[in-house]
């Protein structure tokens, strides 16, 4: 007889790989400038998403707070957070812990992949919440941008 604990650990299977070339680039301006992004995988049930982002040099992302960890890998370019004394460059991998607050600055044209678990909020100068982002809003932004191009989110990108 299976225990309740074993039943809760049901194997949900492994989604097959995504061909990154099959995921189209989209452009968006969320208030801090125009950048390109493509979503590789979104899991709505577990509220996480993985995106590849291309930022132009000089772009700044306002201060924000993550509610879960973020994994980042930089393919090319250089970026940093105003609040820290390190720089992410090509080949850099980092993990941000939950509840960190930081303001991203793009020093060179950059391409990086981020996996964000849970949501995040954009913060104003007095710490007020200006906006919220999570897996659902990532899907809404991506599908909306692609629809304007007459495209749709490729099969296999969304896990619900």
Q: Which pLDDT score, from 0 to 100, does residue 93 have?
A: 98
pLDDT given for residue 3 in this prediction: 52
For residues 39 and 25, the answer to whether their CB atoms sit within 8 Å is no
For residue 74, tell me if it sits in a domain: yes
Structure tokens at 134: 């999570």
The verdict on residue 135 lying in a domain is: yes
Give domain status of residue 100, yes or no.
yes
Structure tokens at 5: 């604990």
Residue 68 lies in a domain: yes
Asked, for residue 8, whether it belongs to a domain, the answer is no
For 72, the domain range is 20-150
10-residue mean pLDDT profile of the chain (160 residues): values are: 55 76 90 90 96 96 95 98 97 96 96 97 94 96 96 92
Q: What is the DSSP letter of 97?
A: P
Tell me what pLDDT residue 105 has: 96
| Predicted TM-score (pTM) of this structure | 0.87
Tokens at 120, concatenated: 């995040």
Tally of domains within the chain: 1
- Domain harbouring 146, CATH code: 2.60.120.10
Residue 9's pLDDT is what? Answer: 62
Say what the pLDDT of residue 45 is: 94
Distance between CA atoms of 67 and 113, rounded to whole angstroms?
Answer: 18
Could you give the 3-state DSSP secondary structure of residue 116? strand
Asked if residue 6 belongs to a domain, the reply is no
Check: CB of residue 41 under 8 Å from CB of residue 29.
no
Residue 129 contacts residue 119 (beta carbons within 8 Å): no
Q: Is residue 3 part of a domain?
A: no
């Amino acid at each position: 007889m299976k225990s309740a604990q074993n039943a809760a650990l049901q194997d949900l299977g492994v989604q097959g790989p995504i061909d990154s070339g099959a995921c189209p680039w989209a452009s968006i301006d969320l208030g801090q400038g125009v950048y390109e992004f493509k979503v590789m995988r979104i899991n709505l049930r577990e509220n996480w998403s993985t995106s590849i982002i291309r930022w132009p040099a000089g772009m700044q992302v306002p201060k924000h707070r993550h509610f879960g960890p973020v994994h980042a890998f930089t393919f090319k370019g250089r970026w940093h957070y105003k609040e820290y004394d390190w720089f992410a460059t090509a080949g850099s991998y980092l993990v941000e812990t939950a509840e960190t607050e930081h303001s991203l600055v793009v020093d060179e044209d950059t391409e990086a992949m981020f996996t964000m678990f849970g949501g995040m909020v954009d913060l104003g100068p007095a710490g007020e919440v200006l906006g919220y982002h999570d897996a659902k809003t990532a899907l809404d932004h991506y599908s909306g941008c692609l629809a304007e191009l007459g495209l749709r989110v490729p099969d296999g990108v969304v896990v619900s």
